[in-house]
Structure 1
Amino acid sequence: MKKLTLSILLLAALKGVAQNPAPARPQVRPVALTGATIHVGNGQVIPNGTIVFDKGVITAVGNGDTPTTGAEVINVAGKHVYPGVISPAATVGLQEVASVRATLDYQETGSLNPNVRSLIAYNTDSEVIPTIRNNGLLMTQAVPDGGVMAGSSSVMQTDAWNWEDAVLKADDGLWLSWPGYFARSFDFETFAVSLKKNEQRQDGINALTATFADARAYADLKNPAPKNLKLEAMKGLFDGSKALYIRANYGKDIIEAIRFAKQMGVRKPVIVGAEDAARVIDFLKENQVPVILGPMHRLPNLQDEDVYLPYKLPGMLQKAGILVSLSYEGEWWRTRNLPFQAGTAAGFGGLDKEEALKMITSNTARIMGIDNVVGTLEKGKHATLLVSKGDLLDMRTNVIEHAFIQGRHINLDDKHKRLYHMYREKYGQPDLGK
């Protein structure tokens, strides 16, 4: 009887839950967006521009004289067209509710798991995904976490029926958390973060050294038998087909991690987090290592640091000639605010807004190795783009009116919008969203 009652209550609850909109259907005819300011993503801006795409691919980008014959014309005069924003270092689609273990699927047991693949855990039905899509994030990097080597990430599109449909680039790189000199701990009673010496640091480095030495030797074998799944997953690090994303924040850790990667023959190391990157700018530039910065909207690490240093850091790195991308690494719900981090970088870092835009579009695409298909609005690339009412990097004017992923016109409904409409109706208020 209790089981029957619970089942009835569960069905009643689910009946009132609105589902995410169905993924968009493939593009069936050419589409032309006319009259908008087009932000190409490479620094170029086209006022009163036209962009045409067909079968999911951009066929023309130009001024108002660009031919639109045979296309469905959408007049977006006064609006702004941008490349789809790319969110790196994210667990969107891999976790839903932090306090509900059954909704978390970004971590495996064990310390060294290079063979773990995050893409098969990517949940296209997540309620979080539509909320980031509505701020312009049309692609996300599904990233594993936990242990020293967490596994491989994949670049996913934010509108799809399943992970097979969503994947844009499978297994783009492996994720390593460098065993640093210090370990952070969080006190749930005081909500304070403290630092302590990492007692397991040398053990972790020794394990990594042995694993990478084995992987490099394994990669030199023509037909290894039997296959070692862990070492097989690491082969791409040595031929450049995969990046090695290294989580490291402090200056000494960054230097040590890069030297380790170079020593082991890793072709494409990338530093993630890099809170202390201002102290090692020359080293990063000398080694030409890209950086994916973590959340900027934070306090500085040290009491005597400039309070605005986290805001200035992207500009400092970019001006030094370092390839910089922005992320909300470790904070999946706040990922939707990624465009505003770029806006902050422009405001405090002395950057032109088009330069800041690169940090969430073309720079990120270059780091992930997908710049041949996305990141900029150029002929021959995917029609993955959006139309904003105003400046994408300003939360006051970031109002996404249209979004397209490979030419498919995306439904921009989400849970937040549904709740907004529902409660305005409940209290008899005019619905400003209609």
Structure 2
Amino acid sequence: MIKQIFIACLCFVVFSSNAQETFQVNGVKDDRTNLHAFTNATLHVDYQTTMENAILVIKDNKVIALGTDIAVPQGAIVHDLSGKHIYPSFIELSSDIGLPKQKSERARAPQLDPKTSGAFNANDAIKAYFNAVDEYSISKSDAEKLRKAGFGAALSHSKDGLVRGTGVFVALREDAENKVILKERVSSHFSFDKGSSTQDNPSSLMGAIALIKQTYFDADWYTNQDEMVDLSLQAFNDNKGLPQFFDAGVDKLYLLRADRLGDEMGIQYIIKGAGDEYQRLNEIKKTNAKLIVPVNFPDAYDVEDPLDALNVNLEDMKHWELAPYNLKRLADAGIDFTVTSDGLKDAAKLAEMMEKAIEAGLSEELALKALTYTPAKLISMEKSIGSLKNGMIANFIITDGSPFRKKTKIYENWVQGHQHSYVDLIKKDLSGNYQLTLAGKNYDLQVSGEPDKPEFKVVLNDSTKIDVKSNVAKELISMSFKLDTAKEATGKIRLSGWLTEKGMSGNAELPDGNWVKWTASRTGDVEAKEGEKEKKEENEEKNADEAGSLLYPFVAHGKATKPTSETILIKNATVWTNEADGVLENTDVLLQNGKISQIGKNLSASGAKEIDGTGKHLTAGIIDEHSHIAISRGVNEGSEAVTSEVNIEDVVDSEDVNIYRQLSGGVTTSHLLHGSANPIGGRSAIIKLKWGYSPEEMKVSWADKYIKFALGENVKQSNWGEQNTVRFPQTRMGVEQVFIDAFTRAREYEKEWNTYNSLSKKEKANAVAPRRNIELETLVEILNEERFISCHSYVQSEINMLMHVAEKFDFRINTFTHILEGYKLADKMKEQGIGGSTFADWWAYKFEVNDAIPYNAALMHGEGVVTAINSDDAEMGRRLNQEAGKTIKYGGVEEEEALKMVTLNPARLLHLDERLGSIKKGKDADVVLWSDHPLSIYAKAEKTIIEGAIFYDIEQEAQGMKDIQAERARLIAKMQGEKKNGKKTQEAKPKSQIIYHCETEIENYSSLK
């Protein structure tokens, strides 16, 4: 005992005296060597090497020897770790420990310019100049939390901004900052969240992506220019040689977006995910990215109340069940990853989460690798940390077993050779049943709980247990209790004594003041009652069923497998060809290899799936020329008047349930447009509604490129409130000037690049290339007919104005969308070859549509304008066939021409008509089989087929709803079992979805999925 106290005191003297060499010592300097030998341990050298009965020797902050047959150095402090394990301490790569927290205060009025003063970037979200090492200050409480969870080092970086500057790698001990910093500039960091910046731009996810892209181009240009100083761009270039980290921790689609951005910029990011990577595993594997994966597995939902259960969507239920399998599936796919505690409310929950992952199949070796070797390798520190080899930093934990078990105790965490104790290494586990002999009587004494917090009870009978107040300190023990059932007991019995090999003994004072001897001999382990044990096993068995299957996409109505192209023969249908053949009765159509292969009667094909079309109608798939479904975090980048740099293609949301809903209405292709918040908005995306496929697989890669322009009330912010009077333009005259200014700048930009590109190779070597500008590049594409305009429009005067601007700069407007006054100038549209995409019968919903009439589509069509009916609305997109039918009522449009307004005509407006919009041999097999006349309100889309794959089948819909109900019931029962077993649950809260329209403007996009 005295020896142990001496060693503890000696350790304290050594540790407290290990001050920095350059600091003045206040007192007597202690130069004794910090030399320790840890013997008889199970030593886990790294994730794949274990030594039994090994010795680990450290000196100061390094490992100097290890093995099973080495000698303990003379003068070393010896720690006997019999029955204990030594593991390398964990490494955290996603932390902001020791850095100031940024507060974001949203501006009440628009803020167009940055607030940061000095020679910095024009956007406050670009913080490449931030170096964490300059701001790092030891946070004792945060470091302690991480150490208790097993961490010994952390990469700390700012979590503020799109470009976040550099990270610092630190040891998690309490000393002067210049002793704990292991590497001062170890990484460069990015995210999609603009953080504390109150500047308007960016106001959307696509705006954030565009700004990061532009920053890359600006940084490249900055290297060779001498016109200006931008400390942000200078730092951006200085940081390019560091490992590049991207925080995409919202969901798996954000991870894919981060990698796509990196591919465009020639960067392979190390990407922090969201823990749901298993949902898009194949796509994520193709990124070749190294991942940082959180393990904040969700608690079960409290679904005892059936109405509360309705608040939880199927996606969240299934993620609760499958999240622990994420690491195992990543490992099986051969994807390198490291684990982070980031996202856990308490880092101490790490062991519990990792235990769940291991129970789901992850090996302990890979778990250790993901927390030690891999994070060290990602920052090129694997030769210094992450393992316990000669010369490496002495960062290790001492445990009583695997650190990936909830009940495992971390006794000590040694960081840079400095000891941090949490559980007494020599604390004896007293749990068990004892026979307590006291004053000639025997009692049953039961000890349970953890070694550092034992719980004592005197058991009188099966129903009566008396709590015992106890204190165990080193080898000494004291207890006190009152035997309420004993007649002679008028006060407490107080025992004092010591621990022995077989139990405990000592002296006791009885309530009457007499002293007697007492002993407590161990008789066996504490066991649960048979009934309780059986009940527990029954509940565990009930909850041990296999996890449910994946869905593509991972939401309700997702499928267990992605639809694939088949050979399909549709027999005896009424076929609306949209071609010269018109409507063909009792006709067969063969779909083969994703194309329309044959059209005729009495067709046959070996191995084809035959569908009886008798009494049914077959049309080309519906094409929505103006849609806002399937877009993530903002349909408008309304922060500036011209935002042609942003791109809807960057934010396609393949999980949006509106895709499936519109498939049920026969839609096969959608043109996803930017909103109408500014005169020149963002670039658009054309997708096929391939439900279950990834965003990249949905995009029509061969399609021409488009962009959204807008006119009217929205762009001049007339209905945005009193605060929005800052951004130009504020009048319709100003809108015209925006167009003229933008295209004038674009012409100058093109001229500048043409001049540079005309230089010889030698001349270019002595010249500075122009600054690449995505905004102006896009406008040049319009001028050169490489990108086409779809313009939000209402009022005749403004439509005329934009036509004049187009004439002035020699380009053509492709489509006026909405165009509710199109009937007033259809002749001019026809003359200039401009199409119209309109509503069937919307009018009078705001001032500038007061002159709208339901005959608009018919009148434009009658004048020879290519006319389409669009939705602009997720719900209307489900019934575009009926919207087209309204043109028969309002204007007497012929049936075939009415159908073309949602099939062939939008295909022509989007330049897709060579492959889409009609049923013709060789075109894409995008068709819909209707139960009735396709323009009838009674018609249902029975099968919606894209490129020969059935993406919606009404016959399977009823069974699909039953499957959803059954899966929900299974998961609800499983979550109820969790609650019954005493597991923590979370409140069942409903989630809402924002349905975008042209005018939807979101100020704080970073808080939205």
Q: Give the TM interval when normalised to the shorter protein.
A: 0.7 to 0.9
Task: Please tell me whether residue 272 in structure 1 is matched to residue 292 in structure 2.
Answer: no
* Distance in structure 2 (CA, Å) of the matches to 1:339 and 1:41: 18
- What is the aligned partner in structure 1 of residue 962 from structure 2? none
- AA partner of residue 256 (structure 1): R
Q: Does residue 307 in structure 1 map to residue 320 in structure 2?
A: yes
**Distance between the aligned counterparts of 1:363 and 1:158, measured in 2?**
18
Q: CA deviation digits over 1:369-422, x for unaligned, max 9?
A: 22121011122211111212333222312232x332222334659xxxxxxx9x
CA contact (8 A) 1:86 1:138 kept: yes
Work out whether residues 140 and 174 of structure 2, in 8 Å CA contact, stay in contact via their aligned partners in 1.
no
Q: C-alpha displacement at 1:269, in angstroms?
A: 0.7
Greater mean deviation of Cα atoms: 143-152 or 29-38: 143-152
Aligned partner letter, 2:274: A
CA distance in 2, matches of 1:138, 1:81: 13
Equivalent position of 2:86 in the other structure: 81
* 1:228–1:315 Cα change, 3 Å: same
* Rg larger for: 2
Give the aligned partner of residue 38 of structure 2.
33
1:230-256 deviation per Cα after TM superposition (whole angstroms, max 9, x unaligned): 2233235543x2322332433332222
Distance in 2 of aligned mates of 1:66 and 1:125: 38
**Equivalent residue letter for 1:279:** Q
Moved more, 66-75 or 355-364: 66-75
Match of 1:185 in 2: none
Q: In the TM superposition, what is the alpha-carbon distance from 1:95 to its structure 2 partner?
A: 6.5
Q: Does 1:170 align with 2:175?
A: no
CA distance in 2, matches of 1:433, 1:229: 59
SS at 2:371 equivalent? coil
For residues 295-336 of structure 1, give each alpha carbon's deviation from its aligned partner in whole angstroms, at most 9, with x where no partner exists. Answer: 4321599246353321110111122221111113245x5123
2:356 alignment partner in structure 1: 344
Tell whether the 8 Å contact from 1:249 to 1:276 is kept in structure 2 after alignment. no
Structure 2 CA distance, aligned partners of 1:207 and 1:336? 38
Q: Residues 44-59 of structure 1 correspond to what in structure 2 (within 5 A)?
A: 44-59=49-64
**2:329 corresponding residue in structure 1:** 316
1:392 aligned onto 2:397: no
| Structure 1 segment 241-260 matched on structure 2, within 5 A | 241-260=242-261
AA matched with 2:234: E
Task: Give runs of aligned pairs for residues 325-364 of structure 1, distance below 5 A.
Answer: 325-331=338-344, 334-348=346-360, 350-364=361-375
Matched residue, 1:286: 286
Distance 1:431 1:176, change over 3 A: farther
Q: Distance in 1 between matches of 2:393 and 2:227?
A: 40
Higher relative contact order (CA 8 A, sep 6+): 1
Deviation at 1:227, TM superposition (A): 5.8
1:345 deviation in Å?
A: 1.8
Deviation (angstroms), 1:173: 1.9
C-alpha distance 322-306 of structure 1, shift in aligned 2 (>3 A): same
Letter in 1 for 2:77: E
The whole-number CA distance in structure 1 between the counterparts of 2:473 and 2:290 is 41
SS in 2 for 1:33: strand
Tell me which of 51, 65, 83 is aligned to 1:60: 65
| Residues 292 and 68 of structure 1, relative CA distance in 2, 3 Å threshold | same
Distance 1:228 1:44 in 2: 50
How far, CA to CA, are the matches of 1:274 and 1:24 in structure 2?
A: 43
Going from structure 1 to structure 2, the CA distance change for 1:284 and 1:236 (only over 3 Å counts) comes to: farther
Q: Is the CA contact (8 Å cut-off) linking 2:100 and 2:135 kept in structure 1? A: no
2 CA distance for matches of 1:391 and 1:346? 11
1:89–1:292 Cα change, 3 Å: same
C-alpha distance 35-225 of structure 1, shift in aligned 2 (>3 A): farther
Distance 1:433 1:252, change over 3 A: farther
Q: Which amino acid aligns with 2:315?
A: L
> How far apart in 2 are the matches of 1:132 and 1:116?
24
Identity percentage of aligned residues: 20
From 412, 415, 420, the equivalent of 1:405 is 415
Amino acid at match of 1:269: Y
1:123 aligned onto 2:129: no
2:159 to 145, 157, 170: 145
Shift of 1:29: 4.1
* Paired residue secondary structure (2:296): coil
The alignment yields a C-alpha RMSD, in angstroms, of: 3.4
Partner residue in 2 for 1:233:
235
Change (3 A) 1:328 1:55: closer
1:112 touches 1:147 (CA, 8 Å); kept in 2?
Answer: yes
Q: Which secondary structure does the structure 2 equivalent of 1:395 belong to?
A: coil
Tell me, yes or no, if the aligned pair for 2:339 and 2:370 is still in contact at 8 Å.
yes
What is the distance in 2 between the residues matched to 1:131 and 1:250?
Answer: 27
Contact 2:247 2:272 in 1 (8 A): yes
User: Secondary structure in 2 aligned to 1:87?
Assistant: strand
Change (3 A) 1:227 1:159: farther
Q: Deviations over 1:154-208 (max 9, x none)?
A: 221111333332211223222222369xxxxxxxxxxxxxxxxx96122212211
> Among residues 85, 98, 106, which one is paired with 1:93 in the alignment?
98
Equivalent AA in structure 2 for residue 229 of structure 1: L
Residue matched to 2:987: none
C-alpha distance in 2 between matches for 1:132 and 1:433: 27
C-alpha change, 1:234 and 1:75, in structure 2 (3 Å) is: same
Amino acid of the structure 1 residue aligned with 2:368: L
2:131 and 2:166 in contact (8 A); partners too: yes
1:215 aligns with 2:219: yes
State the TM-score, normalized to the length of structure 1: 0.74
CA contact (8 A) 2:97 2:139 kept: no
* Residue 211 of structure 1, CA deviation: 0.6
Deviation at 1:433, TM superposition (A): 6.8
- 1:210 & 1:351 partners in 2: Cα distance? 41
Taking the aligned partners of 1:433 and 1:311, their CA distance within structure 2 comes to 39
**1:307 aligned counterpart, secondary structure:** helix
How many Å separate the matches in 1 of 2:327 and 2:47? 17
* Counterpart contact for 1:272–1:293, Cα < 8 Å: yes
CA contact 2:272–2:292 (8 Å) conserved in 1: yes
Say which SS state the counterpart of residue 140 (structure 2) adopts: coil
Please give the per-residue CA displacement for 1:86-134, whole angstroms capped at 9, x wherever unaligned.
12212333369x9xxxxxxxxx983221211233333324323223323
Write the distance in 1 (CA, Å) between the matches of 2:362 and 2:139. 37
CA distance in structure 2 between the aligned counterparts of 1:171 and 1:227, rounded to whole angstroms: 23
Deviations 1:55-104 (A, max 9, x none): 422222222x12323233221111010111112212333369x9xxxxxx
The answer to which of 171-180 and 312-321 deviates more is: 171-180
Q: What do the CA deviations read for 1:219-276 (whole angstroms, capped 9, x no partner)?
A: x55x98976432233235543x23223324333322221121132132x411113333
TM-score (norm 2): 0.34
Deviations 1:348-375 (A, max 9, x none): 2x12212211221112212232212101
